[in-house]
Amino acid sequence: MEIAVTDRVVLAYSGGLDTSVCIGWIAEETGAEVIAVAVDVGQGGEDLDVIRQRALDCGAVEAEVADARDEFANEYCLPALKANALYQGQYPLVSALSRPVIVKHLVAAAQKHGATTVAHGCTGKGNDQVRFEVGIQSLAPSLKCIAPVRDYAMTRDKAIAFAEAKNLPIVTTKKNPYSIDQNVFGRAVETGFLEDIWNAPIEDVYEYTQNPATERAADEVVITFEAGVPVAIDGRKVTVLQAIEELNKRAGAQGVGRLDMVEDRLVGIKSREIYEAPGAIALITAHQALENVTVERELARYKRQVEQRWAELVYDGLWFSPLKRALDGFVNEANQHVSGEIRMVLHGGRAVVNGRKSDQSLYDFNLATYDTGDTFDQSMSKGFIEIFGLSSKIAARRDLA
């Protein structure tokens, strides 16, 4: 892609080897000035000021850093929690959720600095290239996108050689055997020996969770929700970010949230992924249990269909799409009565609900009990069954004749 000399490129910057090299690489290949943008979504690691200075030292004309942890929790993780979003019924969209918040900051920086192009460090095999570029085009259709690793065949060997030739202030000799992406909602690990799907993951793959087989005392926790939002843990008020962080520690200490799955990537291939998302899995488990108590049957049945589609849209990079926005309205409406407390035990890699309490409960003890005081009129059931099964009965007469 040809870019005019006077143009500026906004780069999604992580502070690592590839995106540090991308700064100089883009400048040499296109002649454009590079503005680096780093977004903290709870991935841990280095201080934002250190990352900003590294970007400048690597040749960026400007570098911006954003602490987006609360924004990420409130505007991206929380909608996923309300939707019980699990791609393929397992994956809580750890990486997929972080991309749109990063995109939002990239587009804002491009508009602020008058850039015409946004760059990212994704390869041509993964989902993230789609999430970044579709997101950018959805928010700012006039912006162009480039991906040096994909578009200029910037292999790791080439990146290391470039960094050494330019004396860039980054480590180029160490190589983690895994590809890792993490944020406050969880951690994703792939590549290396994990690409052989017969190989079991070893303990050094994990960081957010302890071995669930280790003997330890169970941890009982009470989570309070208001309209689907976690607002307290064991009676202490918390923000959404604090709820995720605390349950990351407590559920993670019990080995909760480990996932080993072969997933269907958007680009058409299957990929083996190791995830650990202790806070996300604990919160979704609790939220589902409270919905079972407070959401009317037909709404609950339909919401499960919406949840699957919502997760697919987010996984596929369509966070800013019209359908996603419309489904958000449905999910929020369905959560209006999801208020109350859930008690659960965290132990042995599992989050097990053992208590539910809600002023919005649809559970009627007197209708449910089989003991004295039962108010359910069982005499009505015979006629109900006759009418309910009538169409099947009529069809059976024909088909069995």
**Catalytic residue list contains 128:** yes
Which amino acid is present at 3? Answer: I
Is 401 contained in some domain? no
Question: Is residue 121 domain-shared with residue 68, that is, in the same domain?
Answer: yes
Residues 350 and 243 in one domain: yes
247 located within any domain: yes
- 261: which strand partners? 273
Please say whether the dihedral angle defined by the alpha carbons of residues 223, 285, 325 and 133, taken in this order, is positive or negative.
positive
- Structure tokens that stand for 95 in this block: 């990486």
Tokens of 221: 């926790």
CATH number of the domain where residue 214 is located = 3.90.1260.10
Task: For the chain, report the end-to-end CA distance as a whole number of angstroms.
Answer: 71
Instruction: Confirm whether residue 16 is marked as ligand binding.
Output: yes
Note if 179 is an active site residue. yes
Backbone phi, psi, residue 390, to 5°:
-60, -45
Q: What is the CATH number of the domain that holds 93?
A: 3.40.50.620
Please name the amino acid found at residue 363. Y
Separation of alpha carbons 57 and 34, rounded Å? 12
Region of 234 on the Ramachandran plot (φ > 0 left; ψ -120 to 50 alpha; else beta):
left
Q: Dihedral (C-alpha) 162, 164, 168, 169: value to the nearest 10 degrees?
A: 140
Lookup: tokens for 323: 């359908």
Q: In this structure, is residue 33 part of a structural domain?
A: yes
What integer pLDDT is reported at residue 4 of this predicted model?
A: 47
391 assigned ligand-binding residue: no
Domain with 257 in it: 180-295+337-357
The DSSP code for 184 is T
Residue with tokens 């969880």, as numbered in its chain: 186
Greatest Cα pair distance in the chain: 86
Q: Residue 364 falls within a domain, yes or no?
A: no
Total number of domains constituting the chain: 2
Is 226 annotated to bind a ligand? Reply is: no
pLDDT value of residue 5:
45
Q: Which value, in Å, is the radius of gyration of the alpha carbons in the chain?
A: 25
* 194 shares a domain with 239: yes
Question: In terms of domains, do 165 and 251 share one?
Answer: no
With H, G, I as helix, E, B as strand and everything else as coil, classify residue 83: coil
Contacts of 334 (CB under 8 A, 6+ apart): 82, 295, 299, 303, 306
pLDDT at 175: 60
Q: Is residue 91 part of a domain?
A: yes
Of residues 128, 250, 271, 272, which has the active-site annotation?
128
Q: Mean pLDDT of successive 10-residue segments in the chain (401 residues)?
A: 67 88 88 95 88 93 96 98 98 97 98 96 90 97 93 77 78 67 95 93 96 97 98 98 98 98 95 97 98 98 98 98 98 98 98 98 92 90 95 96 85
Active site residue 379: no
pLDDT tens digits for range 108-134: 999 999 999 999 988 888 899 999 999
Q: Is 373 annotated as a binding residue?
A: no
Joined together, the tokens standing for residue 126 give 């993964």
Q: Is residue 323 part of a domain?
A: no
Which residue in the list 7, 179, 264, 265 is annotated as catalytic? 179
Cα distances from 85 to residues 183, 264, 318, in angstroms, run 17, 16, 14
358 is catalytic: no
Which of the following is catalytic: 52, 54, 99, 187? 99
Residue 42 resides in a domain: yes
Give the model's pLDDT for residue 30. 86
Residue 312 domain-assigned (yes or no):
no
Same domain, 196 and 171: no
Q: β-strand 219-226 against 229-233: which pairing, if any? A: antiparallel
Residues 102 and 116 in one domain: yes
Contact 254, 217 (CB under 8 A): no
Q: 164-211: per-residue pLDDT in tens?
A: 887 777 765 556 678 889 999 999 998 889 999 999 999 999 999 999
117 among annotated binding-site residues: no
Q: How many residues does the chain have?
A: 401
133 closest CA partner among 114, 119, 112, 154: 119
